[in-house]
Amino acid sequence: MGNLTTSLVVVLMINAFLIMGQSAITSINPQASNFLTGSKTPLYSFSQNGTLNESNINDKLPSTDSSVSVTTGNIFTDTWNAVKNWFLQSTGINYVLGILSAPYNFLKAIMLPNEFVLIIGSLWYMLTLYLIINFLKGGTD
């Protein structure tokens, strides 16, 4: 059984190789098919709109969502949403949770059969969710 670091490294490396492969085939043939255009992958969600801009790194950090709408919704759900988004985004958990569904998006992007994508994606989701819960509880494996 692996640990959480292994899962993160594997997903990020797969993401990096697919992005490099996509840019390589687009460089070879500009009319080549795009398979990694979505923004649901960890590396694309790290950058803003798929482009990296090193001049302002504050844009890449997780932002907080603390506004409460006074005209729509109600005070309970709005407060709950604001608190939940603050925890998810300011602590970076939202970014880590993207690891859970990343292989599903990768395998769909390279046009593998749906059944195969479902099996691998669900297996990865369950195992990584267990690893995240175990990590939060303080376990090592």
Partner 1 sequence: MPAIFINTTGTMGKIIETASNNLTGSLTLTLFLLLIVVIVIALIFRLPFDLLSVFLVPLILIFMAYQGQSFLAIGGVFLIYLAILVAKNWFIK
Applying CB under 8 A, which residues contact partner 1? 5-6, 9-10, 13-14, 16-18, 21, 24-26, 28-29, 32-33, 35, 106-107, 109-112
Q: In whole angstroms, what is the distance from residue 69 CA to residue 65 CA?
A: 12
Helix ranges, 1-141 (H): 4-28, 42-46, 75-90, 93-109, 114-137
Q: Shortest Cβ distance from residue 7 to partner 1 (Å)?
A: 10
Q: Shortest Cβ distance from residue 141 to partner 1 (Å)?
A: 14
Encoded tokens for 134: 């175990």
Q: In whole angstroms, what is the distance from residue 130 CA to residue 120 CA?
A: 15
Q: In whole angstroms, what is the distance from residue 80 CA to residue 63 CA?
A: 17
Q: Shortest Cβ distance from residue 24 to partner 1 (Å)?
A: 5
Q: In whole angstroms, what is the distance from residue 135 CA to residue 127 CA?
A: 12
Q: Shortest Cβ distance from residue 19 to partner 1 (Å)?
A: 10
Smaller CB distance to partner 1: residue 45 or 81?
Answer: 45
Smaller CB distance to partner 1: residue 33 or 91?
Answer: 33
Smaller CB distance to partner 1: residue 40 or 81?
Answer: 40
Smaller CB distance to partner 1: residue 6 or 66?
Answer: 6
